Chain A
Amino acid sequence: MRLAVAQYYARPSPIHRLDPRCKVVAVTALVIGLFLRSSFAALAIYGLAAAAGLLLSGVPLGWIARGLRPVVWLLVITFVLQLVVAPGPAFYSLGPLHLSVGGLEVAAYLSLRLVVLVVASLLLTLTTPPLALTDALAWLGRPLRRVRVPTEELALMVTIALRFIPTLLQEIDTIMKAQRARGASFSKGGPLRRARALVPVLVPLFILSFRRADELALAMEARCYVPGAPRTRLHPLQAHRRDAVLLVLVAAVVVFAELV
């Protein structure tokens, strides 16, 4: 079974090697920049920056396309809606529908911006292992500890959740097979019947998950886990010169895009 979230494309590339914290900051800066200034020129610059990152990362276009698939409908709706509702002199009319050049421009701009936005974010998740990403977010969220936000614990929760996604998928697969061997069918009938057919899968899955969570908590306590206690890492995050280069480059892109 393939999962759409937290996909990681493992490969040695200059983008993969970057510090995850810097990648998060860089992508955030690009996204904010993208919304600060609405001009086709700025959009082109951000688009080029994302394309350059894509090229350097060596992530196949097919993976990007797969990542874009969930937003295809959003794209279509945005485009059509903007095209129809935008005011301005119509170049084509069909009954109550007036399509204007201005509308076409706005629709194209908003759709392209969405594409650049998604590609930039995909670039982050595809080139950063999920665990490195949570580490980075935990580090970046450290100032929040001052106001008693348990960032370390939140990061650990996310880490554990990510760790158990493949395990749970495996378990669902086994339970579904076992119930199919007992005559269950998960594809027959209407939505209500299908939902009911999942009961024999969900009940064992929940019981197993609770049991596992219990055991994991005990095992962590047995290994002296104390919530909130400072923890050290086997592989501490470390920024290199290439990360500084990335941040400077991104800053340059944003400044340039805001000026043109």
Chain B
Amino acid sequence: MSGPLGVSCDGLTFVYDEGASRVVALRDVGLTLAGGESVALLGPTGSGKSTLLQLLRGLLTPDEGRVLLDGLAAGEPGFEERERRVGLVFQMPEMQLFAATCADDVAFGPRQLGWSEHEVDAAVASALAAVGLPADRFGARHPYSLSGGEQRRLALAGVLAMRPGLLLLDEPFVSLDPASRRDLEAILRDLSADGMGLLLATHDVDRAYALCRSRVVLDQGEVVDAGPWRFGDGGEEVLLSHRLKPPFVVELWRRLGRSAAEAPPQLATAAEALA
């Protein structure tokens, strides 16, 4: 089974209950992501973004509400194999590298899925190629001999090797240098162009705007706004009032005297914007 995977949830509520302390991480959260669609999940630190991603991948069990994959709920036939095709890239995923070679680390997921060595090799090669770490040059290297940006991409390859139909990314750009951020953004753009759905949890609004057609704003565990980017009709204020900021190109557009309602190009760099 392959191809894009759609995900949605409704009424999701999740409470971190540690006995003495109870923290409501998410309250009645609903969102829909059609197969192949790119959506930005924006929100300040502690707004519940990571919890939501983990719920969508089935790593946490919601206290209320449910997650649907291609319209199927947990327990329905076909749900489990779809859940395996939800690729979740954790924040700082390079912290989870453990194997002695890059190829072995990327092969971990496919091997857990019980694929044949032949299929595993093919998946590893294409995943490494997709993140710009070709197997012939990087496959035999030790993961910790790579640079920080390369390690981040290697961890992404580990998820891609499982041939996901949807990528959930938790702050993928955090603590990378500008060049590595650009590389990663290009990779995600290519994946998206090839039909991979992206749910990009971040507070990097510029990159989110460059990569995603719509956004969901989460704050204190609740969805405060969802839908396509909108500016000039309160869209900027929504972002500003939730510890975010409007994308830099939108600001630039306004300063250039263009109408804010007129959709500015979804570009992330000044050079692209001026061109």
Contact = CB atoms under 8 A, between A and B. Distances in A.
B158 A199 contact: no
Most buried by B among A183, A185, A204: A183
Given A178-B93, A181-B90, A182-B112, A200 B159 contact: no
B108 A182 contact: yes
Interface stretch (B94-102, B172-180, B230-238): B94-102
Contacts of A175: 95-96
Contact of B109 (A174, A182, A199, A203): A182
A207 interface: yes
Given A183-B162, A200-B108, A177 B98 contact: no
A184 interface: yes
B108 to A, nearest CB: 6
Contacts of A208: 95
B53 to A, nearest CB: 10
B113 A178 contact: no
B88 A181 contact: yes
B57 interface: yes
Nearest to A211: B95
A179 interface: yes
B18 to A, nearest CB: 9
Interface residues of A, number: 19
Interface string A183-212: 111000000000000011101100110000
Contact of A204 (B57, B97, B109): B97
DSSP majority for the A interface?
A: helix
B253 interface: no
B112 A183 contact: yes
B113 A183 contact: yes
Interface in A217-248: none
B97 A181 contact: no
A17 interface: no
A180 interface: yes
Given A175-B95, A204-B98, A207-B144, A181 B108 contact: no
A204 B108 CA distance: 14
B84 interface: yes
A175 B108 CA distance: 14
A199 B112 contact: no
B90 to A, nearest CB: 5
B59 interface: yes
B54 interface: yes
Nearest to A1: B18
B165 to A, nearest CB: 14
Interface of B: 19, 54, 57, 59, 84, 87-88, 90, 93, 95-99, 108-109, 112-113, 144, 158-159, 162
Q: What 5 pairs between A and B have smallest CB-CB spacing?
A: A183-B112, A203-B98, A182-B109, A181-B88, A178-B96
Interface of A: 2, 174-175, 177-185, 199-201, 203-204, 207-208
Given A175-B95, A182-B112, 11 more contacts: A177-B54, A177-B59, A178-B88, A180-B59, A181-B59, A182-B109, A183-B84, A183-B108, A183-B162, A184-B112, A200-B99
17 contacts: A2-B19, A174-B90, A175-B95, A175-B96, A177-B54, A180-B59, A181-B90, A182-B158, A182-B162, A183-B84, A183-B109, A183-B113, A184-B112, A200-B108, A204-B97, A204-B98, A208-B95
